[in-house]
């Protein structure tokens, strides 16, 4: 049994501390009286409709995932973060956190408060209040530079670039107070959790060395074994299987289906008390290396000591080199800023020779034909046509959940 430390009446394990602070900085207003007063006064405030990306930023700020940020970045911080991964004050941060829009009413000015409306919930309720620090425009060159530095490309065929370039060029910076977590608690009860709730789960489990596994997809055999390899090779206490619950690109599998599939896999095929399943309310960026850094930063805020980073982590198409998302962690600014470490993984696949899932770099005597390899496109085609996935690729119970979804889509 590990030694526990008692703080303010609660027993705490020695989890890694949050980024930039000794404790989390959630921007969600917990006090019911304060929240009631804010909601009441907000009715008379100017209002703006957020885009989905900005609303997701609000949720992450509110839930403490983006500790130690206090709100949305201004233009100078956005450019500095995109270019050098630090704010003007020197804080490491990998991707600008922006409230960016196409147009703004003339009655909204710096120094005033505005109510931010949620675009993803019927009736567009107020999700947060923002105190405006500044309102600034990005010219085309600045917008293109930020885009290139985040995504490594300005190609409009890249789904992250396409979305980011469509959001507008007016940046509204300033601190926010968050009133709710949008649709995530209602649509993903028991799965969506704040950073503090995850820390509490890890403390209750008495875990100290914790591996985070990021996923926007259902987990196949290779993902399952990758988590188990990380647990074994790091001698970790457990793995946090942490799902993106926000907006994805067309063709990706919805969060509720992924959730069901992952829970079935863990229930049947993971040793008891070695995995915690949770999710966070953020839209996928497909920003490859920079998004891998963001994933690591907010997993440190969750208390994780390690993040699994595999081939083409958070990538899309052929925009990033296979191990670019691992190599970026070797930058001095990253090594000097983050406490979380990565478990650098190669592509995993089922070996016909060895009759088990392996990391492909560990078996140099194999050829491509020795592995069971299926592309995402091929998997979707097979499921849509009612063709069973090979048991070497997917657990039958998981494949059945996915097949039901694809068959209902037809």
Q: Which residues of 165-176 are buried (b: 16+ CB within 10 A; e: fewer)?
A: bebbbbbbbbeb
What is the CATH classification number for the domain harbouring 227? 3.40.50.620
Are 374 and 227 in a shared domain?
yes
pLDDT one-digit tens code per residue, 213-246:
999 888 889 999 999 999 999 999 999 999 999 9
pLDDT at 60: 98
DSSP 52-91: HHHHHHHHHHHTTTTTT--EE--HHHHHHHHHHSB-TT--
DSSP 139-162: -HHHHHHHHHHHHS---TTSHHHH
pLDDT at 249: 76
- Known active-site residue 217: yes
**Rounded CA gap, 345 and 262, in Å?**
20
Are 178 and 198 in a shared domain?
no
pLDDT at 207: 97
**Rounded CA gap, 326 and 323, in Å?**
5
C-alpha R_g of the chain? 22
Residue 299 within a domain? yes
Count how many domains the chain has.
Answer: 2
pLDDT at 3: 43
pLDDT class of 13 with cuts at 50, 70, 90: low
Residue 15 within a domain? no
Query: Percent of the chain at pLDDT above 70?
Result: 96
Decide: 257 and 405 in contact? Cβ < 8 Å.
yes
How would you classify residue 409: left for phi > 0, otherwise alpha for psi between -120 and 50, otherwise beta? alpha
pLDDT at 409: 76
What is the CATH classification number for the domain harbouring 60? 3.10.400.10
Domain-terminating residue out of 125, 159, 182: 182
Q: Does residue 210 have a pLDDT over 90?
A: yes
**How large is the average pLDDT for residues 402-406?**
91
- Listed as own residue / partner, the contacts of 246-250 with beta carbons closer than 8 Å and 24 or more positions apart are 246/52, 246/56, 246/59, 246/184, 246/281, 246/282, 246/283, 246/284, 247/52, 247/56, 247/283, 247/284, 248/216, 248/283, 248/284, 249/159, 249/284, 249/286, 249/316
Are 174 and 217 in a shared domain?
no
Are 49 and 69 in a shared domain?
yes
pLDDT at 252: 78
Q: Does residue 10 have a pLDDT over 70?
A: no
The arrangement of strands across the sheet holding 348-351 comes to: 356-359, 348-351, 371-372
pTM summary value: 0.94
**Rounded CA gap, 357 and 21, in Å?**
40
Domain-terminating residue out of 182, 211, 226: 182
Domain around 41:
32-182
- Known active-site residue 216: yes
Instruction: Find the catalytic residue in 14, 124, 216, 263.
Output: 216
Domain-terminating residue out of 150, 166, 182: 182
Residue 3 within a domain? no
**How large is the average pLDDT for residues 86-109?**
96
Phi, psi (rounded to 5 degrees) for 203: -65, -45
Are 122 and 194 in a shared domain?
no
Phi, psi (rounded to 5 degrees) for 66: -100, 25
Residue 25 within a domain? no
Residue 17 within a domain? no
Decide: 198 and 278 in contact? Cβ < 8 Å.
yes
Residue 16 within a domain? no
Residue 21 within a domain? no
Q: Does residue 1 have a pLDDT over 70?
A: no
Are 203 and 339 in a shared domain?
yes
Are 161 and 194 in a shared domain?
no
Are 296 and 342 in a shared domain?
yes
Are 162 and 200 in a shared domain?
no
Which two structure tokens, joined as six digits, stand for 394? 């997917």
Q: Does residue 84 have a pLDDT over 90?
A: yes
pLDDT at 274: 97
**How large is the average pLDDT for residues 80-103?**
98
Are 312 and 399 in a shared domain?
yes
pLDDT one-digit tens code per residue, 333-379:
999 999 999 999 998 889 999 999 999 989 999 998 999 987 767 88
pLDDT at 12: 53
pLDDT one-digit tens code per residue, 292-309:
999 999 999 999 999 999
Cis preceding-peptide flag for 251 (omega within 30 of 0): no
pLDDT class of 384 with cuts at 50, 70, 90: confident
Are 276 and 224 in a shared domain?
yes
Instruction: Find the catalytic residue in 14, 169, 217, 263.
Output: 217
Residue 1 within a domain? no
* Mean pLDDT value across the chain: 93
pLDDT at 380: 79
Which two structure tokens, joined as six digits, stand for 381? 């085609």
Decide: 386 and 246 in contact? Cβ < 8 Å.
no
More confident residue, 383 or 49: 49
Are 150 and 214 in a shared domain?
no
Query: Residue 361 gets which letter from DSSP?
Result: G
Closest C-alpha to 116, from 157, 172, 69, 67: 172
Q: Does residue 154 have a pLDDT over 90?
A: yes
């Amino acid at each position: 049994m590990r030694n526990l430390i008692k703080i303010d009446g609660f027993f705490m394990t020695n989890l890694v501390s949050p980024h930039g602070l000794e404790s989390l900085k959630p921007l969600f207003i917990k006090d019911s009286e304060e929240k009631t007063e804010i909601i009441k006064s907000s009715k008379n405030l100017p209002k703006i409709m957020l885009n989905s990306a900005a609303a997701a930023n609000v949720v992450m700020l509110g839930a403490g995932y983006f500790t130690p940020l206090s709100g949305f970045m201004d233009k100078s911080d956005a450019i500095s973060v995109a270019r050098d991964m630090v704010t003007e004050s020197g804080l490491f941060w990998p991707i600008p956190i922006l409230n960016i829009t196409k147009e703004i009413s003339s009655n909204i000015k710096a120094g005033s408060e505005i109510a931010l409306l949620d675009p993803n919930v019927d009736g567009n309720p107020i999700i947060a209040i923002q105190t405006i620090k500044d309102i600034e425009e990005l010219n085309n060159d600045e917008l293109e530079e930020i885009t290139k530095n985040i995504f490594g490309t300005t190609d409009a065929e890249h789904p992250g670039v396409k979305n980011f370039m469509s959001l507008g060029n007016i940046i509204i910076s300033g601190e926010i107070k968050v009133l709710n977590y949008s649709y995530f608690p209602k649509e993903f009860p028991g799965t969506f959790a704040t950073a503090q709730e995850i820390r509490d789960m890890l403390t209750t489990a008495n875990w100290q060395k914790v591996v985070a596994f990021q996923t926007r997809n259902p987990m196949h055999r290779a993902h399952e074994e990758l988590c188990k390899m990380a647990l074994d090779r790091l001698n970790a206490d457990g793995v946090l299987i942490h799902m993106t619950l926000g907006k994805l690109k067309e063709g990706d599998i919805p969060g509720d289906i992924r959730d069901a599939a992952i829970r079935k896999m863990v229930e049947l095929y993971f040793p008891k008390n070695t995995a915690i399943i949770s999710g966070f309310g953020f839209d996928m960026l497909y920003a490859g290396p920079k998004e891998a850094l963001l994933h690591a930063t907010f997993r440190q805020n969750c208390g994780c000591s390690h993040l699994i980073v595999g081939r083409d982590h958070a990538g899309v198409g052929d925009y990033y080199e296979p191990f670019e998302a691992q190599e970026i962690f070797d930058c001095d600014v990253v090594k000097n800023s983050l406490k979380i470490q990565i478990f650098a993984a190669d592509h995993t696949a089922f070996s016909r020779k060895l009759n088990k899932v392996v990391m492909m770099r560990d078996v140099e005597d194999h050829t491509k034909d020795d592995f069971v390899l299926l592309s995402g496109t091929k998997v979707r085609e097979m499921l849509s046509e009612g063709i069973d996935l090979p048991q070497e690729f997917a657990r039958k119970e998981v494949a059945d959940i996915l097949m039901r979804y694809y068959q209902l889509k037809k």
